[in-house]
Amino acid sequence: MTRESDTRQRIVDGARHLIYGRSYHDVGVAEICTRAGVRKGSFYHFFPSKQELSLAVIDEMRIGIDAGVLSPALAPDVAPMQRLARFVERLYDFQRQAAPAPGHLPGCPFGNLALELATSDEVIRQRLQSVFADIESRFASVLEEAVAAGEIDNIDIAATARAMLAYIEGVLLMAKTANDPELIRQLGHAVTGIRIHQGED
């Protein structure tokens, strides 16, 4: 990694830590620069705006969630529906480990930003939508395998995958509000029972 790329990465890492630990609007450029150990000139050299930095942060968090939760949980070494149960356990572990120093459960990084910015920043909304669409697609692939293997009956795969994601996001919101990761385990495994059939409203 070159010195320039290292500086850029420090800015992204600092912003990710601060924004995920608190909120987008609560974190300013000056604090991000202090956290990263850079001057404002360096910040604006890499990122013309806080929005541009936030897009980079979303991409970084996307990589982290994939490596820490999605890919290991949904790996095809177990039966399809077991992968979804394993996803809940990986999500539980990730949330406990991601809790910042004060001990507050951070919740879904993408859901947090969506709640805060989806109605005010169209560019960020679209990036977040692409993240959610990717997760839905990963769930849909597992469901396709589950149907083919006879684990579940024929269903509306796309709608079921979306319903599963919506349910998980709701569980994460409740766990964050209660500041209790155990809710992820207590409620999360019900995701494997969600079914949307063709023609259901």
Written as six digits, the tokens of 7 are 């500086």
Confidence of residue 73 (pLDDT cuts 50, 70, 90): very high
Q: Which CATH number fits domain 1-48: 2.60.40.10, 1.10.10.60, 3.40.50.300, 3.40.190.80?
A: 1.10.10.60
pLDDT tens for 152-165 read: 988 999 999 999 99
Residue boundaries of the structural domains of the chain? 1-48, 49-193
Topology of 49-193 in CATH? Tetracycline Repressor; domain 2 (1.10.357)
Q: Is the pLDDT of residue 40 over 70?
A: yes
Amino acid 98: pLDDT: 77
Confidence of residue 201 (pLDDT cuts 50, 70, 90): low
Amino acid 76: pLDDT: 95
Instruction: Give the amino acid at 102.
Output: P
Confidence of residue 120 (pLDDT cuts 50, 70, 90): very high
- Whole-angstrom CA distances from 112 to 125, 190, 197 are 12, 22, 30
Give the DSSP H or E segment for 89: helix 80-98
**pTM score:** 0.90
Confidence of residue 132 (pLDDT cuts 50, 70, 90): very high
Q: Are 23 and 111 in contact (CB under 8 A)?
A: no
Q: Are 143 and 160 in contact (CB under 8 A)?
A: yes
